[in-house]
């Protein structure tokens, strides 16, 4: 959903994006199932895009741009107090150029972050238990629960994707001068 929505937004300013065909494939990465820092999030997004590229090429298919998304936590100590945020990264590449984009972030309550980090569990499973709903990840995501539906998981990734696509729809700015 986020990919389609972000492509539609880019299509409003670049008509070549208006008739994009989308191919989505689930792939595995070497990052933890619950990434806990920006490095793991960015690496996971990049690995997903490259894994999709490799999978499609094995199927004798290709794409103009390969995209990967990864969500998880980012924690930082500020004034001796730890703050944990829900955050995501998007990565896009055509094999020559690449772009990264980050989602906005939202504070994760300390008690919830502890359940995930200390319990070494995925946020989606913990949120399902806390909210009493099955498979929140496929619906509004943790974003929807934490923001009372003002921002959903998909909405957060739209911003990241628009940023990751920038080198492709705004080539003039991303070309070395």
CATH number of the domain bearing residue 76 = 3.90.950.10
Give the CA count within 13 Å in the CB-facing half-sphere of 10: 24
| Residues forming a β-bridge with 66 | 93
Residue 137 domain-assigned (yes or no) = no
Rg (alpha carbons) of the chain, rounded to whole number: 17
Please give the full DSSP string across 112-165, using - where no structure is assigned. HHHHHHTTT--HHHHHHHHHT-S-GGGTTHHHHHHTTTSS-HHHHHHHHHHHHH
pTM confidence score: 0.92
Q: Considering only CA atoms, which of 82, 83, 78 is closest in space to residue 106?
A: 83
Residue 126 domain-assigned (yes or no) = no
Residue 34 domain-assigned (yes or no) = yes
Residue 46 domain-assigned (yes or no) = yes
Residue 118 domain-assigned (yes or no) = no
pLDDT in tens, the chain (177 residues): 788 889 888 999 898 888 888 888 899 999 998 999 999 999 999 999 999 999 999 999 989 999 999 999 999 999 999 999 999 999 999 999 999 999 999 999 999 999 999 988 889 889 888 888 888 777 888 998 999 999 999 999 999 999 999 999 999 999 888
Domain count, the chain: 1
Residue 16 domain-assigned (yes or no) = yes
Residue 120 domain-assigned (yes or no) = no
Domain containing 82 equals 2-108+151-170
Alpha helices in 12-152, H assignment, sequence order: 38-58, 110-117, 123-131, 141-146
Residue 29 domain-assigned (yes or no) = yes
């Amino acid at each position: 959903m986020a990919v389609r929505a972000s492509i539609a937004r880019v299509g409003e300013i670049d008509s070549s994006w208006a008739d994009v065909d989308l191919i989505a494939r689930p792939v595995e990465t070497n990052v933890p199932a619950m990434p806990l820092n920006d490095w793991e999030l960015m690496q996971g997004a990049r690995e997903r895009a490259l894994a999709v590229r490799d999978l499609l090429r094995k199927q004798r298919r290709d794409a103009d741009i390969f995209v990967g998304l990864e969500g998880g936590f980012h924690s930082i100590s500020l004034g001796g107090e730890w703050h944990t945020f829900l955050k995501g990264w998007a990565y896009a590449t055509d094999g020559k150029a690449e772009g990264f984009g980050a989602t906005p972030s939202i504070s994760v309550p300390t008690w919830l972050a502890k359940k995930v980090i200390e319990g070494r569990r995925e946020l989606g499973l913990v949120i399902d238990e806390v909210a009493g709903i099955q498979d929140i990840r496929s619906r509004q995501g943790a974003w929807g629960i934490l923001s009372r539906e003002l921002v959903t998981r998909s909405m957060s990734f739209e911003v990241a994707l628009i940023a990751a696509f920038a080198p492709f729809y705004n080539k003039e700015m991303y070309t070395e001068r």
